[in-house]
Amino acid sequence: MPGLLSSPVCLTVIWFLSLSLHPSCAQIWTDEVSGVQYGHLESNVTLACGKSQIRTPVVWHLNHSSALPWHKVTSNGTLVLLQVDHSAQGIYSCYDARGLLLHSVKLRLGHSPGLLSVSCQVPNHTHVRCSWVDSVRTFLPAQYNASFKGNSLEWRPCVVDVARKHCDVDHPAFWQTSHTLRVTETNALGSLITFHIVKLHKLLKPDPPESVSVKELEGYPKRLVVSWKFPSSWPQDDAFPLVFHIRYRPQGSMHWAEFYSEESPVVVLDALAGHLHQVQIQARDEVDAESQWSEWSPLLLMRPWEAYTTTTEPTEEPEGTFPEKPETSTAKTHNPVIEGEGNLGLVILLVLFSVVLLITVPSLIYVVWVRQRRSDHVTKQELTSMVKMKSMPI
């Protein structure tokens, strides 16, 4: 068994232990309080005319009508419905020969629980949610009880949400390679346990990055600035680093260009000038190579900065002519580092700055010198007046 459990092929192998009631009892489940009797579909269902032995012949009605599905009535007045289907459901009443109501019961039909098809999501290291769907439609309300355990650990409850058919475990023992989830489904016709192997490391899959934004970079017709935040369900902690996978392409192109980054923001350097681009990001645990990539963030559309023709100043494209083909298909990976393509502008700026400096500094020095002389004079006057005020009686 341990060999079977650790085999990855058997990750989703589910085996079960049937806790169904003894078959002869399982066909009938009488709820005395509510007056509901449950029966298995496609079986023979026996309805007794009350508890006491009836000697006289009885008449059975379904929903106050004498039209009954395929059936037989035994000598003691018991009604046996043969090979029932959904149409046999309803309220059954038996009457004595004089038309007196002896007994009435509501019949509900369905199936006992079948195996559950279980899947688990692990959005971070402190949370597991397992959901299930019935492999067999039972047509009957069910209760679920679930527990979870790592190898050689105690069973602990997995907190069930009956309506949504899932359960949650907080702080699972992540250092354990394999865990087992046990879900018991119980309905009026029986009970069944489904076991499911959970490999937390392989299921670890962050939610997509949040607050993703793509912006143009003024003056750079081939650049886009992409920024994002950690998914809010992931701890904002250096102990749990994420790696991000960014992809982008001009709208209409078949090929994505892509690269990886650990930090936001990044600058795309080879966008196709003048074109709308699609951008998406996904995330993965950086440490755990077995873990899964998140879903892609929603598609964002952005056009790089463009030099508008209305501008009077001629705008220069620092990188010369544009390639006819999108660079995205060739440039697969690169470092998002800003290149020194604005050098000419920088030189002009520096020269202007120096000129301004040369003119302003001497004039500033002069102004300061003049002010200093004046203020020295004023301070002397102030001091003498303050001394006078302090000595005035209040």
Ligand X SMILES: *[C@@H]1O[C@H](CO)[C@@H](O)[C@H](O)[C@H]1NC(C)=O
**Site residues (CB under 6 A) for ligand X?**
43-44, 62-63, 82, 87, 89-91, 123-124, 126-127, 145, 147, 233-235
Looking at beta carbons only, is 172 or 250 nearer to ligand X?
172
In this structure, the chain runs to a length of: 394
Looking at beta carbons only, is 66 or 312 nearer to ligand X?
66
Interatomic CA distance for residues 196 and 131, integer angstroms: 11
Looking at beta carbons only, is 146 or 272 nearer to ligand X?
146
How far CA 323 is from CA of 230, 314, 320, in Å, comes to 35, 21, 9
Looking at beta carbons only, is 87 or 333 nearer to ligand X?
87
Give the CB-nearest residue to ligand X: 90
CA angle, 133 then 138 then 144, to 5°: 55
Q: Could you say which DSSP state residue 391 is in? A: T
Closest approach, Cβ 160 to ligand X, in A, equals 8
Burial of 236 (0-12, 13-18, 19+ CB in 10 A): exposed
**Closest by alpha carbon to 35, among 43, 23, 44, 47?**
47
| Chain centroid to CA 264 | 22
- Is residue 172 within 8 A of residue 199, CB to CB? The reply is no
Interatomic CA distance for residues 188 and 27, integer angstroms: 10
Interatomic CA distance for residues 144 and 191, integer angstroms: 9
- Is residue 36 within 8 A of residue 105, CB to CB? The reply is yes
Looking at beta carbons only, is 204 or 279 nearer to ligand X?
204
Looking at beta carbons only, is 71 or 247 nearer to ligand X?
71
